[in-house]
Structure 1
Amino acid sequence: MSATPPADAAAKPKSKKLVLIIAIVLVLVLAGGGAAWFMLSKRSHGDEDEEGGGGGHQAKAAAPAAPKVAPTFLPIDNMVVNLADSGGDRFAQIGITLELADAKTSDLVKQYLPSIRSAVLMLVSQRTSEELLGREGKEKLAVDIRREVSRPLGYTVPKPRKRRASDEEDDEEAPAPKADTNPVRQVLFSSFIIQ
């Protein structure tokens, strides 16, 4: 009988060590799994934050960015116009394409196309060949045409402000320009010939 109790006593310390080793391994596995889960979830949230352009909770609070819609282009038949040069022997042949926000705007512009063409012809006929030969003259004409196309749709295009030397100092205090909601995005010239 004396041999049995020492075997039980020796088995208890071994079983305690075994239980302790299993518990430590289990804690390490759980801690490693938790750390891996945390790192993977943080990485996936980090990718979303980079795409959203913000950090953490701010990205969720901000409204999602509107998907960018491809513009609609509406070509207008070429126009031949006498210019305002002295003698009346100079003319311009101009091809215009309108960049519009969507197909709905294109349909609306088509309804007003006769009056828009007339307004564009009037605009060009008031210019001289000298004005239209330079880049600045063409850009100003494009802004004026955009204004004439936008008018029947109920939009206005502000006239560009002339810059003065004192404006450079005021630029720091100038208010930010308003967002342009005009569906007539820009006027593109597909041809521009002056003879």
Structure 2
Amino acid sequence: MSAAAASADAPAKKSPKKLILGIVAVLVVLLLAGAAALVLLKKPAESDEEGAEEEEVAAVEHEAGKGKKGAKAGPPVFLPLDPFTVNLADKDAERYAQVGITLEVDTPEMAEQLKGYMPAIRNNVLMVLAHKTSVELLERAGKEKLAAEIMRESVRPMGIEIPDPDQAAAEEEEEAPKSSKKKKKKKKAPYNPVHQVHFSNFIIQ
């Protein structure tokens, strides 16, 4: 009887250990399955986020193409102005200039908008030309300076004020001693829809 009782007690002692091992194995399997599920669920979420970011970047680039930088596909848009004939500011002799000007703008819509301001634009350009001398306009540097001034004056009727670089530099030099301790942030240049000023003809007599 004692031998039979011992043999009956032996399985009873072993069964709790097997039960614990089984529970541990099940827990391990469940943890592995949970980790695998998290990895699989995380990948589509990341790809969705990347896709959303790419769409957002594309949208920003698209807006930038239409916005301030004026970057766009296709040929540039040119707006030719009627030729200008104006007396120059020479004091020693009567000199005049005949100048053909074409504005390069960012969009056809902006070209149409500028046409609505054309009388004011022509007035501003004539005022700039009338203050030039033949000596100034015969030099390449003088023509480049004239183009920059026309670029500023052509958008002024629309309420766009483009600062004169020479004037801005002079003001910075004056303010330099005052602002030596505090560094001022440079003002962002306003958006100018006129990218270039092209001369189609340039005659001085």
Structure with the higher fraction of residues in helix conformation: 2
Alpha-carbon distance in 1 for matches of 2:13, 2:198: 99
Alpha-carbon distance in 1 for matches of 2:29, 2:118: 80
1:62-111 CA deviation, whole Å, 9 max, x = no partner?
xx8992115484512352435625555663433221435782x5433212
| Displacement after TM superposition at 1:113 (Å) | 1.3
Aligned residues: 182
Equivalent residue in structure 1 for 2:149, among 140, 144, 158: 144
| Displacement after TM superposition at 1:40 (Å) | 7.6
Alpha-carbon distance in 2 for matches of 1:23, 1:187: 69
Structure 2 unaligned runs (5+)? 71-75
Please say which of residues 16-25 and 129-138 is displaced more in the overlay: 129-138
Equivalent residue in structure 2 for 1:107, among 103, 106, 112: 112
Percent identity of the aligned residues?
22
Where 1:67 maps in the other structure, the secondary structure is: helix
RMSD: 4.7
Where 1:152 maps in the other structure, the secondary structure is: helix
Alpha-carbon distance in 1 for matches of 2:145, 2:198: 16
- Partner amino acid for 2:31? V
Cα 1:134/1:106, change in 2 over 3 Å = same
Alpha-carbon distance in 2 for matches of 1:36, 1:129: 76
| Displacement after TM superposition at 1:131 (Å) | 1.9
Residue 167 (structure 1) aligned with residue 173 (structure 2)? yes
- Partner amino acid for 2:128? L
CA contact (8 A) 2:104 2:195 kept: yes
Q: Give the TM-score taking structure 2 as reference length.
A: 0.57
Cα 1:51/1:168, change in 2 over 3 Å = farther
Equivalence for 1:58: none
Structure 1 unaligned runs (5+)? 54-63
Equivalent residue in structure 1 for 2:196, among 185, 188, 192: 188
Where 2:83 maps in the other structure, the secondary structure is: strand
Alpha-carbon distance in 2 for matches of 1:47, 1:111: 43
* Bigger radius of gyration among the two: 2
Alpha-carbon distance in 2 for matches of 1:189, 1:101: 15
Cα 1:113/1:50, change in 2 over 3 Å = closer
Superposed, which structure 2 residues align to 1:37-48 within 5 Å? none
Superposed, which structure 2 residues align to 1:94-133 within 5 Å? 94-99=100-105, 103=109, 105-133=110-138
Please say which of residues 113-122 and 5-14 is displaced more in the overlay: 5-14
| Displacement after TM superposition at 1:10 (Å) | 4.8
Alpha-carbon distance in 2 for matches of 1:125, 1:187: 23
Alpha-carbon distance in 1 for matches of 2:168, 2:30: 76
Alpha-carbon distance in 2 for matches of 1:82, 1:41: 68
Cα 1:169/1:87, change in 2 over 3 Å = closer
Equivalent residue in structure 1 for 2:26, among 22, 25, 40: 22
| Displacement after TM superposition at 1:120 (Å) | 1.6
